[in-house]
Structures are given as C-alpha cells and as structure tokens.
Structure 1
Amino acid sequence: MNKLVIFSLLGGDLNKGFPVVTAQLWHHNQFLLVKLTGSLPAVPELSQLYHRWQLLYEAVHQHLGSNQRIKVHSQDITNISVNDFDEVCQQLQANMNAWLKFESFQNIERQLRTLLNRDDEIRIIIETDIVLVHRLPWHLWDFFKDYPQAELALSNHQYVSPQVLPKSPTGKVKILAILGNSVGIDIEQDGALLQGLTGAQTTFLIEPTRKELDEHLWDLDWDILFFAGHSTSIAHGEIGKIYINQTESLTIPQLKNALNTAISRGLKLAIFNSCDGIGLAINLADLNIPQIIIMRERVPDLIAQELLKNFLIAFAGGKPLYLAVREARERLQGLENEFPCASWLPVICQNPTTVPTTWQELSGNFGDTKFRGQVSTKGKIAIPKTKFWTVLISTFIVAVSTVGLRYLGAFEKIELQTFDQMLRLRPKEDPDPRLIIVEITEKDIQSRQETTLGHKSISDSTLATLLKKLQKYQPRVIGIDIYRDFADPPNKLQPIKLSTEISKENVLVTCKTPDSKYDPQGVKPPKEVPVERQGFADAIQDPDGIVRRQILMMPQEPSSTCTTPYSLSLQLAAGYLSYENIQPKVNENYIQFGSKVFKGLKFGRSGGYQQGVNLGGNQILVNYRNTDYQRVSLEDVLSDKVNPDLLKDKVVIIGVTANPVSDTWSTPYSTAQQDYQQIPGVFIQAQMVSQVLSAVLDKRPIFWVLPFWGDILWICGWSVVGSLIVWRVRSRSDNRGAIFVTVVILYGVCAIALLKQGLWTPFIPSAFSVVASGVVVIFIQNRREFSTTPQSLIE
C-alpha cells in the first residue's frame, strides 16, 4: 500500500530547535489519513558534528585519492585516518537518532507506526528551508530499518503543483543528457549507460554553450534532464551552479525561463550526477519540478557511475522511483571500504503535490525495457501486459464463483452486518411528529397491584380508563400493542368497560399468528373487535437475532386464532392516512398508498437474503429512523398531566416498556450501542408505522433490492473493474493501493445508494470480486514473469 508521510520542520533551526513539527500521513497522495503535531529541541552539537564530518569526509577522500566530480579544496585537517572518520560517522548517526527520540517527536513516530505496515511502500518527505537540515543524513534514522520499502526525500516549505500541458506518448522516454565540464573526472561512462538504454531517446549535449542548452530546453519536450560534470553550491548552499563547459558556468536561476518551459511541457525528473547538489535541488524545487535526484556532497566518479547504473536498471525495470533510488543507494555500501559514506550521498527532492513518476508513465509504453552494454546484471526484462482476453476470462471465473458463493449463503451474515453499519452512518434524525407512545413502565405496573386473568401488565379496567382518557385528546388512531385474549372478571366498581372503549372506530387491537416452533397456539384478539380493526404484531428476526424486516400482510391459515391478513403497523398507518384521503390499494405482491408502492422482497432470494430465511408474505426492509420517539407514561395520561397537543391528530400506540416483559428485540441501532440492550416491541411497531407514513407523506426512501439478475450484473461489473485496474496499473506497488481505493469507492457508492435512494446493493460480494479479480490478474502476471526466460537487462 502506497503511503506518503510529510514532516514539516517549522519556525526554527538546529541551534534554536523546531517548536512546531507537523506530520501528515497520506494514502497515495489522495486521502489525508492523519495530521500530527510535535516539536524537536535545539541540537547545536549536531550542527558542529556535521561540519566536522564534512571536513573529514573531504580529507579522507583526498587522502584515498578518490577521483571527485569537483576538486577538493585544501583543508586544515591533516593526518586523518579512516578509523577516526568512522568514529565521527557513528557519532553523527547516534546524535541524529538521539535528537529524533525527543519525546514530543516520538509521540508522532509512535502514532505513525500504528498506521503503517512493514510491507507498505512509504515515501518520507522532510520539508524545511534550512540548508543544513537538508544536508543531514536522514536515511540513518532508525525508522528506515523497520520499513524496508521506505525512502527519504527533501522538499522546501513552499511549493505549488506544476501546470503541465498535455502531450501524446511517444513510446520512448525522452532524455536530455548534458555532459558538462569534465576536466579531471570521467563522465564518459555516464554517457555510455544512457546510450545503452533502450526504450529511451537520449539527446547528448557535450560541453554545450549556454545558448545551445537554452534552445534545447525551450524548443523540445523532455521527460528526464540529466547532468554529469562539475557542480557546486554557493551562497551558503542556497544557490546551485553547474559548469556546462570549460569556460562557462550557470546557476539554476539563470536557466529559470527555459526550465519553466520544459517543466510545463512534461519534464518530470532531473538527475544531477555531480557534486554538492543541495543548492541545485533548492533552486529547482522553487521551479516546482516534480522530482530531482542529487548528491549531497562531493562524489567520486565510480560512485556516481554505479549509482546511475543501478538506478537505471531498477527504474527502467519497473520499480517505483523511490524504491529504485533506495536500492541503488544501498548497493553503494559494498564500495565503502574504498569510498567511505558512499551510500550517504544520493537523495531525492520531491514536490509533495505530485505523485512520483514511473518509467512506464514517462514512455507510455508498457513493453520490454532493457540495456545494451558491457556491464553485467541479474535483472530481468519487464513483462508485457497480460492480454485483454485473459483478463476477461479471469474476471468471468471470479464473478461466477462469487455469485455461486453468495447463492450458497457464504456472504449472508456479513452482508446483513454491513447493511446495519451503513444505516448507522446516517446522522441523528428528528422524531416523527405524527406518532406518540403511551408506555406502561415498571413503575406503572408496580404501583397497580391489580387482579387480572392471564399474564397481563395492566387490568382491563385500567386499559379502559386509559382509552377513555386518550379519546378526549382526539387522536386519529389508537393502537393497542398489548395482547387481550382473556377478559378480566367484571368489576362492578369500574363503570368504564373495556368492551365499550375498544369498540370505537379508531381503536385497533393486536393478535399473534400461531408459530409451530415457539407459539403453536398464537394469541387471539378481543372478541368485541371486528377483523377490520385487528392487526397481527408478529416480529421476524434474522438468524442473528436482529429485526430488519417488516411484514405488511400475509395470508392466515383457516384454523389460525389470528385471522387478519394485515399487520398492526399497516393498519395504524392506513388509519392515519385515511384522514389525508389516501386509501390503500392492495395487491398480492404489493401495497400502494398514492404514488408510493411497497413491493415485498421476492420469495426465496432477495438482496442479501440467500439461504435459510422465509420471505413469505409481503415483507419489506425496515428503514429505521435514527431517533427516539415521543412518549408519555400511563400515569401521566391517567393523571391528566399530558399536553393535549401531544396527542391530537396523532397515531397513539400503547405498549409495555417494563423490564420483566419479554417483548424486547434487537435492531441495527441497538446492537451498536456500547451498553447493548434490546428495545421494547412497541418501539419496533412505532418504527414500522413511521416508515410507511414517512415514505408516503415525506417521500422518505423505501428500501428495495435489485432483481436476482441485477445483483449478478452488479457483481460482475465490479469484478471487471477490479481486473482492469490491476491490468492498467503496471506498478506492482500501486496495485494494492488501487484495489483499496476501488473498494472504498464501491463502499461509498453502495452507502449513497442505500441512504439516498433506498437501494440495497451487494457490497460484500462486489468487494470480494474486486479484490479476487485483482489478485488473480496479479497472479497471472507473476506467472508470466517467472515463466519468461530470464535474460540480462544489459547485453
């Protein structure tokens, strides 16, 4: 997975410390994952130690007779030994890591480590305008030991994204190679390496005049700018100068207009295989060139040549730029007996607004890349793209396999859990103003020690009194979500009769359909209420115990104690809507209120339900409202403590919320609560009534699913996307990031479709097919690579 970490060292220097250090972690330059803040203390001894190291470095190389790309100035230090220099190197490394272990900075590092994996491809960018901080050997930070695919780059504080004109790929990487003043050094090998690189079109300017160089930068398009020869940094390292021939030298500001033009026409990478390149990097960064590779200090000829060779082999062979530089840099360590600190010299300078280029991107050609020449290597030819028909076949196999696994129910549990998780993305909603619940609480039950027949929460007489009180407030419809299958003995002291109150036209009662497994008898309704004002209150749980579906209607067996084909929630909604002159149209497969059609899930398989779930009757998914409902207690109503406006023209549902009552259920919201607890059934009924009313009156979405063949096309389509992304993305390191981003986009699409349009799409099978298709294409490409006859990159 491709990660980018940008450290910004602000408002200080090594002598004063950096009071503010920020770290930003990005995923593939696109998504900011986290931003952290810390600080670093003053370390004046590090500045002194570096200057001593620099003097000893030049003295040691002069003593060893290294051929430098710029003459070593005479130093005051004499009689220096390599052992002394090694000791200073160790001190510098120890002091660097001690500085970076400062507690405030360590807090940043610890948090980053929790978000990074060892196998991640990580680009670390140090942003600073302090030249000395640019020169420090940041690659010695212990962090890089733990992340083998991490590499360092430097950046100035200020940068903007370069404005690049579109251009057509030529199939060749266009390189402008400037071979400048070479007095006392050997740069012919640099030219030979570039000359032997196929897949590139290299133009050589050998000791050009300023006019020739300027014209080439102005008039032609270039992908890579290469320079070999003498160079230096002046003005305390803030200005870079190159020696283009034996009589002329140029600073980068003197080439500003020509370089700006070259960058706007597609120049992506500058390589300065010359000494003391920090000033060059700082000036080029001001021009917003995407990437630069320079040498921090003076560099011996052989080291410059080895770096270029190893970098070109890795980069042109398909490795990402950062990993190619790290590999080329680390291979220099084998030469450090003769050339101390050789692996300290190369460094990348990066414009953080740009993504590092690849060889394939520069050329627009994903075919073979190789070298010609006399140097041996163990590399392999880059493998051509997998053929398109192979991608299609693999996609078809993955898609069919995914559909088959889904058909067998392999994804059902996790699909339902993902459905719940998407629902919980919705912000808190306002309560439905059309509903109010009269709850019978534990306190209400305990305060009334009444004689009842059967297991009742309150007596018939209390319920009758409650109904009488409620009718005074003129609700549109009253639903009794309490079973009343047995009447209590007559109470001569209670003039209000339940039979009288429940016979009112706006009162609906409940019953329960027999269940062969849990309740073979069922619960019959009160005999005084006709079937037109009855509704069954059956709740259906999914295999994981969560209520996600609502039965609107279902046929009853002739022997059933509950004969109504309609649910209590549907009856209550219909009763309320009748006041709006909206009457239901009932069909075997759907129920319609006005323009809103409630189509049931298809029997057998529908959406995420594929195995072991009975979808008989007219069942719809519950579009839960993320809210609580207005409620008043039984005692408040009986004591006339209720505001009449709370009940007038409302749907009133009477139900029990007391703890001992077993009528409690789990919903997608209750299961996510930290203090998990089930909710009373009366709240489920309120959600179901609200769902119908909100869909009809507020145009709130009704959840629906694609037909079976639609789900298949959806899964197959995303399987194709997964395959094509991996097929088109040539960098192996980018494949995982591309697949991850695709799955994130898929999740966003599915969540928006569900929450905005009510469409429940198969996210889990589709995500599985994206990943599986990508992995299969990678596997096929790897097999082709390993089955290809190995041969040298350099012949």
Structure 2
Amino acid sequence: MSKLVILNFGNGTLEEGCPAVTVRVEAEDRTPLALLNGNLPPASELLEIYHRWQLLYLLLYDRFRGIEIDNGDITNVSYGDFEEISQELKRQINHWLDSEEFQHVKLQLFFSLAANDEVRVIIQTEDEFLRKLPWHQWDFFGNYHRSEVVVSNLSIFQPQYPIRKAKVKILAILGDSTGINVEEDRKLLAALPNAEVEFLVKPKRKQLNDRLWEEGWDILFFAGHSVTSEDGETGHIYINRQDRLSIADLEYALGKAIYRGLQLAIFNSCDGLGLAQELADLRIPQMVAMRESVPDRVAQEFLKYFLNAFSAGQSFYLSVRDAREQLQGLENELPGASWLPVICQNHTQIAPIWNDFLLDRPQWTWWKRFSLVCGVGAIASGLIMGTRFLGVMQPVELSAYDHLMRLRPAEQIDNRLLVVEVTEEDVKKYGYPLEDRTLAKLLQNLNNYKPRAIGVDMHRYRQRGEGREDFISQFDKHSNLFLVCAYGIEDRNYAPPPEFSPNQLKNQVGFSDLPIDDNPNENIFPVRRQLLSHDSQLHNSPTPCQTPFSFSFHLAFRFLYEDAIDPPTPNERGHWQLGKVAFKSLKNRTGGYQNLGEHNQILLNYRSIPKSGQISRKITLRRVLEEEIDRQLIEGKAILIGTTAAVANDSLNTPYGSMSGVWVHAHMVSQMLSAAMEDRTLIWTLPQWGDALFVLAWSVAGGFLAWRSRTLLFLLLKLSLASIILHQLCLVFLIYGGWMPLIPSGMALWGTAIAVKGGFIAKRKLELRGQFL
C-alpha cells in the first residue's frame, strides 16, 4: 500500500523548538489513518553542526573545482573531516527526533505503517533550516526501504492531475554552461521513451517566456548555474551568460504553464531550494532540486539514475530515492553527493508515475485517430447524403447553385442573336396583342435583311385584327420562320395556327414550355433547365401542341443548318446529337435535383450577363416597323421576337433575377449555338456516387481540422478558411461547367469537425478526472 506521513512543524524553528508538531498518517487516497501530536525541544547545537557541515561541504566543492580558499580558522579540510561532521550531523538529527517529547509519536508511526508500504514523508515547514536538513538520515527511513522524504510549505492547494497526451512534453532549458557540461543532460533527455523534448539553449528571456506560454508542458528541466539568496526565499537561474532570472521574473508564464498541466520541475543545478520555495507559491505539484552547490558529475549521474527509473515506470518518489542512494558510489571522490537531491512539492499531490503523463490506451495511435476521423466522416457524409436523397436539401442546394451562377465572370454578348422587344411604348402605339398585319409587316421587314432564323415567341392561334392572310403567307414563303405553342396547356389559345399545314406544324412550330422549379418556401419558380424535345403521345390527355421539338431547338438547328451541320439525331444512348455535341439528358437524380422525371432536358447554362445586362443586341418593334435599323444587326442572325411589356405577364424567375420569356429563350438558343460552334461547356454533374465521394472528402477534411486544432478558436478560423476554399473551388468548377455539391460538402465539413472536436473535448474532460474512454 501507499501511505502518506505528514509532519507539520507549524511555526517552529531549530533555535526555539517546535512546541506543536502534528503528524498525520493517511492512505494515498487521503483516507485518514492516524492523527498524532507531539513537540520537539530547541536544537541550537544541531543548527551549529549543520552550519559547519555546510561550510566544509562548500570548501570541498571549491577544491573539487580547483579553487583554494583561505577561510579564517579553516585553512585545510580533508575528506575525513567532512565524513566526521556528516556522521555527527546524522547523530544530532536522530538525537533530536528521539527526544522524550516525541517518542510516543515515533512509536505510533511504527504501529501505523508496514515494512513493505510505500511511504511518502512530507515535512511541512516555513523555516529555511528545517527545510535544508538532510531528513533522509533519520533512522526512520532505514526501517522503510520504499519511503522517501519531501519538503513542503504550509499552504494547502487543490491537487492537480496530469493531462494525458500521446507523448510526455518536456521543455529543457540548457542555460549558462560555463565550466560544466550540459550536453550529457541533453543526451539523457533526448533518449527518453514516449517523450517529446524541446531544447532551449542559452535562450533570451523573451524566448523562454514565449515557449512557456505557447505549449502544454508536463516537465520543466533546467541545467546550468543557479543560486539561492542568503534568506533562502529567492533563487536565480542563469539562462545565458548575461541574463539571470528569478522565478518572479517568469511568474505569469510559469503560472500559465502550471495551469495548463505542468507537473514536475527538475532543477539539476546548484543550490535550488530558493527556486523550490518560489515555485511552491505558484502551486507547482512537485519539484526536484539540489540543496547545495552540486558538482557537474553528480548532477549528471543523478539525472541518469532518476530518469532511468522514472521512465521505466517506478514511482516518482522511489525514483528520486534510488537515484540519490546510487550517488553514494561517488562519495569517495565527491563527498556528500547522496545528500544533495531533495523533493519539494504540494503535499496534496498524488505521487505520479511516468505513464500518468501518457494516454492509458497504447493503441490510441495516429492510425487509430485517423480511423476515428475517417469513420466519423463516413457516418456524417452518409447521413447528409441520405437526407439529400430524400429531397430535403434540394431548395437550398438550388439557391446555392443560383448564387454561384451569379458570381461567374461576365461573358461577351452573343453577336449571333438579336432580340426584337415589344416594349411598353410599342404596346401604347400598336396595341396588345399585336394585330396580324403588324406582325406580317415586322416579319417581312426582317426577312428583307436575310436573317438565318426568326422566332416569334407569341401564341397566334386566333386571328388578331386584319392581315391574317398576310401573316400566314409569311410562313408559307419563308421556311426560316418559327412560332410557338404550349403542350402543357389544353387551352386552344395556346395552340398553333389552324391554317398551318402538317409540314409547318412539324417544322415551323416549337413548344415554348419551360421547366420550372417549385420552391415550397417562396412564391418563386426559377427556370434552371431547358427542354429539348418530348413525345406528345405520352400525355394523359390530347394536346393541340403536337410538335416534338422545343422553340429554342428549332431556332438553333435552323441557324446551324446554314453551316451544313446535320439535322439533330438521337445517338446510341438516346441523347440528341447536334454536330459534334451530344446534349445528354438529365437523369432523375442529377446534382441537387432528386426527382426530375424522364424528359429530354439539360441544365441551362445561362450566358453570364455582362455589365450591359443583356446577352445579345436588341431593338424595339417600332424601329423595325419604321425601318430604323442597320442591316448588320439582322443579316445572318437568329432573331427572337417577344413582348417585354408588363401587360404580357411573361416574366420568369432565373438565377439572374426576373427575366422576360423571350430573353430566357435567347439564353437557350445561345447555349446550343455556343456548344455546337465554340465548344462552350454544358453544365455537367458528377454521378451520385461521385457527389458522395466529394462530400466524404470534405467531411474527412473537417475531422482532420478538428484533430489538429488545439483550441476552438483555431478550429473556427480553419473551418472558415476551408469553407471559403470550398466555395471558391465550387465556383471554379461551375465556371468550367461542373455543378459540385457545395451545401452537402459544407455541412459535412462543419458537422464532422464539430463531432470530432466534441468527442476530443469530452475525452479530455474524462482524462482530467483520471478516466478514459
């Protein structure tokens, strides 16, 4: 069992005695086993002998360094003299502790402890000389070979538990090394198992301060020169040849390091009890220091013995005891070596072992973390893609698609097209709907300039005013004229003119129906797709619009006909082939769409609108009728005629906002012409499994960002940057025609990151309580 013996000397001193000594015996979990009270008489002779021992030790230490000093009465000192005073000091310590007033306490201790117990004896005192006494020479420790003594102040601090990590984090300061060899210390530290050591060699004060702030250290190590003030309350370390620092000079940085989990400080340097006193005030859990000046070889051997035992799994206290006792082998050359190391600590702290700094699951390796991140990413992306499959995400995905469409760089206007607008002024002058004779004159005037194709985006089933025969005759005389009908409406008013022949109904009429996307949250119906053809026989009820081709398809082919491009034909996969371009029909699930149905349709790649706000040149009805036109505007062009005045109620929602129907058809014609003549890309998407892999990649990326982010703030910054990258990547893809799953990927990125970070935070909280997942 582990036992704790706390000897509280209160305000007692060697000169005045200790009238109220409290001795508590506890189990390591702080269960009280015994409470004893006693007192100790003044021991001024013991104090005098300690002063003499200290003086002789320092003389021998100076001799070891090659310095001869004439010190008053003592002009020469031998190893025998030092051994004799050491034995006398040991006798005086035991004589004092064997005082009659303290005998009953010592007897009760023997009854409370077993010989095989691991015993930690804590000396609580604020007196400098009581702290400096070589307490390990008390005969008590000869009866308990698994015991060690620790000095502590009287303050009571809340115990602090190690924060477990994959490796023990050690900050090693190699300070001023004048006359000593710190490279041996460096080699010993670098060889430690499961440790990550950062060396600061003769650092500047700011460099040391910054490193203490920036990392969560487990162990702080110092090798170099140090000194304690005469009052024993303050220590200084020499971090380089110019800078000498006290603990107070690093108070905030050390306080932060202790708050973040610093458990142990090792000062393998001279006279470190002053450093220990100041660090105790900062509530460091435990510390090892040297009570007097220490020869370089002693410091190196102690560090070697201690690290070998501690890193092998032995308790911290027994590791210090074993290392201290092994130094006895040097005392024929270096007297007093085994008396130098001393432990100073917060007495409420539980004795640590090396593995207390490490995660208790050795299999929690990089590969396991990688597998966890990938697993969480796969689950998150699976849930998101499942939700997408149900169509829940379609509205927001389509909105994101519109957003990216608007961000594309502007394109040049399409000079192959001309739009003749019937504006508000034209309606006031010529009426609405236009009379047949007005339209006949319009078509005649346009054909005089030899356009390739003319499309009239107006329904003309009924006669409008005079000039019907002239209007119909224009279609008889000019095969490049096209009219519209609507197959989705049974109303005869949307049928083609009854005067048309079967040949005209097939070759000079195209349906104007546009696929719209119903948004359940808003009263908007955007147009994002383009119908190419349909089978009129598949309708549930007869429709007067029997043409199989769309209005835009007719106009585009007629334009390309002049360039000797073959008529559109279905290829082996059933897709329409126009020249070298295959217009691949959309599948039922395409991109963000999850229920498109079976239609010969493609995504409408709107021509990115330039600053002028139009994709082609335009002219008003009045200017054509009054022949205020330039031949170059019309000759060899595809002409679209439509009403843009509000009375027509022909305004449609698009990614670029409200747009008249004739302009939507212009975008469709432009898309087909550009694809066939300029290799302008059509909008394409990945198959559903391709979208899933893209989402999975961003999901795993979010998990890795969470894994590699130390704080939530860093994670939020990284996720924000990753979101910007994702957004820009999807925009670049869309510029080249690719519609990538922006919203599902963004959700996967953030969702996985939050899940992984939340898991790590929960795990760390359990670790802080000494529990593990």
Q: TM-score, normalised by structure 2?
A: 0.55
1:427 aligned residue (395, 403, 409): 409
The CA distance in 1 between the partners of 2:372 and 2:174, in whole Å, is: 45
Distance 1:527 1:715, change over 3 A: farther
Q: Which amino acid aligns with 1:714?
A: F
Give CA-to-partner distance per residue, 1:1-41, whole Å, 9 cap, x none.
xxxxxxxxxxxxxxxxxxxxxxxxxxxxxxxxxxxxxxxxx
Deviation at 1:639, TM superposition (A): 1.2
* Distance in 2 between residues matched to 1:388 and 1:656, nearest whole Å: 61
Q: What residue identity is the alignment partner of 1:509?
A: L
Pairwise CA distance, 1:314: 2.0
SS at structure 2 position matched to 1:497: helix
CA-CA distance at 1:680 after TM superposition = 1.2
**What amino acid maps onto 1:636 in structure 2?**
R
Secondary structure of residue in 1 paired with 2:693: helix
Q: Return the offset for 1:535.
A: 0.5
TM-fit CA distance, 1:685: 0.7
Ranges in structure 2 where 5+ consecutive residues have no aligned partner: 1-131, 133-150, 152-162, 191-196, 207-223, 228-235, 264-277, 283-312, 318-343, 520-524
Q: Does residue 1:768 correspond to 2:768, yes or no?
A: no
Distance in 2 (alpha carbons) for counterparts of 1:303 and 1:637:
89
CA contact (8 A) 1:514 1:521 kept: no
Taking the TM superposition and a 5 Å limit, the aligned residue runs for 1:41-440 are 199-200=168-169, 205=174, 207-209=176-178, 223-225=198-200, 301-302=247-248, 304=250, 307-308=253-254, 310-311=256-257, 314=260, 374-375=345-346, 387-440=369-422
Where 1:527 maps in the other structure, the secondary structure is coil
TM-aligned CA deviation for residue 595 of structure 1:
2.0
Query: What is the alpha-carbon distance in structure 1 between the residues aligned to residue 176 and residue 424 of structure 2?
Result: 96
SS at match of 1:406: helix
- Counterpart CA distance in 2 for 1:404 and 1:418 is 19
Distance 1:561 1:789, change over 3 A: same
Are the aligned partners of 1:475 and 1:647 in contact in 2 as well (CA < 8 Å)?
A: yes
TM-superposed CA distance for 1:778, in Å, is 1.6
Partners of 1:468 and 1:521 lie apart in 2 by 24
Alpha carbons of structure 1 residues 216 and 789: separation in structure 2 relative to 1, 3 Å: closer
SS in 2 for 1:429: coil
Contact 2:175/2:238, CA 8 A, preserved across alignment: no
Which amino acid is 2:714 matched to?
Answer: D
Q: Please give the per-residue CA displacement for 1:392-443, whole angstroms capped at 9, x wherever unaligned.
A: 3322221221111101122111111111111111223221000001111121
> Taking every aligned residue pair, what percent have the same amino acid on both sides?
28
- Deviation string 1:701-737 (CA, Å, 9 cap, x unpaired) is 1001122222222222322222233234455543333
Q: Is 2:480 the partner of 1:506?
A: yes
- Answer yes or no: is the 8 Å Cα contact 1:477–1:572 preserved in 2: yes
Gap regions ≥5 residues in structure 1: 1-185, 190-195, 232-243, 248-272, 281-293, 318-331, 337-367, 450-455, 671-677
> Deviation per CA, 1:634-655, whole angstroms, max 9, x where unpaired?
1111111101001010000111
State the SS of the aligned residue for 1:546. Answer: coil
Question: What residue number does 2:428 align with?
Answer: 446
1:735 aligns with 2:711: no
- Distance across 1 between alignment mates of 2:168 and 2:726: 37
Deviation of residue 374 (structure 1)? 2.3
For the residues of structure 2 that align with 1:679 and 1:718, how far apart are their CA atoms? 36
In 2, Cα distance between equivalents of 1:511 and 1:210:
101
Matching residue's letter, 1:546? P
SS in 2 for 1:788: helix
Distance 1:636 1:382, change over 3 A: farther
Q: Is the 8 A contact 1:477 1:652 kept in 2?
A: yes
Which residue is 2:194 aligned to? none
1:722 to 1:577, Cα distance in 2 relative to 1, 3 A: same
Give per-residue Cα distances to partners, 1:62-90, cap 9 Å, x unaligned.
xxxxxxxxxxxxxxxxxxxxxxxxxxxxx
| 1:568-579 → structure 2 map (5 Å cutoff) | 568-579=551-562
> Does the aligned pair in 2 maintain the 1:510–1:525 contact within 8 Å?
no
Deviations 1:524-556 (A, max 9, x none): 345323311210111222113111111111111
What is the Cα deviation at residue 695 of structure 1?
1.4
Q: Partner letter of residue 577 of structure 2?
A: Q
Give, in angstroms, the shift of residue 210 of structure 1.
Answer: 9.3
Distance 1:782 1:763 in 2: 28
Q: Structure 2 matches for 1:645-656, cutoff 5 A? A: 645-656=632-643
- The superposition leaves residues 448-491 of structure 1 with CA deviations (integer Å, 9 ceiling, x where unpaired) of 25xxxxxx521100100111100111101111111111124555
User: Which residue is equivalent to 1:287?
Assistant: none
Secondary structure class of the residue paired with 1:483: coil
Q: CA RMSD in A?
A: 4.5
Q: For the Cα contact (< 8 Å) 1:426–1:755, is it kept in 2? A: yes
Instruction: For 2:546, give the aligned amino acid.
Output: T
For 1:735 and 1:721, the matched residues in 2 are separated by 12
Residue 605 of structure 2 corresponds to which residue in structure 1? Answer: 622
Q: Say yes or no: does 1:701 pair with 2:674.
A: no
Q: 1:274 to 1:682 in 2, by over 3 A?
A: farther
* Paired amino acid for 2:178: T
Query: Which residue identity is paired with 2:678?
Result: D
Runs of 4+ in 1 over 6 A off after TM superposition: 210-217, 228-231, 244-247, 273-277, 370-373, 376-380
Query: Do the aligned partners of residues 205 and 555 (structure 1) sit closer, same or farther apart at CA in structure 2, a change above 3 Å counting?
Result: closer
Q: Which residue of 2 aligns with 1:567?
A: 550
* 1:592 CA displacement: 1.6
- Aligned with 1:738: secondary structure? helix
Say which structure, 1 or 2, has more relative contact order (CA 8 Å, 6+ apart).
Answer: 1
Q: 1:594: how far off? A: 2.2
- CA separation of 1:468 and 1:589: change in aligned 2, threshold 3 A: same
User: What is the aligned partner in structure 1 of residue 725 from structure 2?
Assistant: 745
Cross-structure match for 1:597: 582
Which protein has the larger Cα radius of gyration, Structure 1 or Structure 2?
Answer: 2
- Tell me the distance in 2 between the aligned counterparts of 1:623 and 1:647: 23
- 1:506 Cα offset (Å): 0.8
Deviation at 1:656, TM superposition (A): 0.7
Q: In the alignment, is the contact (CA less than 8 A) between 1:513 and 1:560 conserved in 2?
A: yes
* Distance in 1 (alpha carbons) for counterparts of 2:176 and 2:585: 81
In structure 1, the residue matched to 2:692 is 712
Partners in 2 of 1:584 and 1:377 — Cα distance? 89
Structure-2 separation of matches of 1:315 and 1:578: 79
Cα offset, 1:679, TM superposition: 2.0
Which secondary structure does the structure 2 equivalent of 1:417 belong to?
helix
How far is the alpha carbon of 1:747 from its aligned partner?
1.8
Contact 2:587–2:597 under 8 Å retained in 1: no
User: Which of the residues 742, 750, 765 maps onto 1:786?
Assistant: 765
- In the alignment, the residues of structure 1 paired with residue 708 and residue 622 of structure 2 have an alpha-carbon distance, to the nearest angstrom, of 69
Of 660, 667, 670, the residue aligned with 1:690 is 670
Corresponding residue number in structure 1 for 2:461: 485
Question: What's the CA shift string for 1:106-146, capped at 9, x where partnerless?
Answer: xxxxxxxxxxxxxxxxxxxxxxxxxxxxxxxxxxxxxxxxx
When the two structures are aligned, how many residues end up with a matched partner?
481
Correspondence for 2:629: 642
Question: Which amino acid in 1 is paired with 2:745?
Answer: S
Find the counterpart in structure 2 of residue 533 from structure 1.
Answer: 508
Cα distance in 1, alignment partners of residues 535 and 699 from structure 2: 41
Give the distance between the partners of 1:577 and 1:230, measured in 2 at CA.
78
Partner amino acid, structure 2, of 1:641: E
- Tell me how far 1:740 sits from its aligned partner: 2.6
Deviates more, 1:713-722 or 1:220-229: 220-229
SS for the counterpart of 1:781 is: helix
AA in 2 matched with 1:567: S
- Look up the equivalent residue of 1:666 and give its one-letter code: N
Shift of 1:789: 6.2
The secondary structure found in structure 1 opposite 2:549 is: coil
- Residue 335 of structure 2 corresponds to none
Read off the aligned partner of 2:671 and give its amino acid letter: Q
Quick one: which amino acid aligns to residue 459 of structure 1?
E
Tell me, what secondary structure is at the counterpart of 1:645? helix
Q: Which residue of 1 aligns with 2:9?
A: none
**Which amino acid in structure 2 is aligned with residue 583 of structure 1?**
D
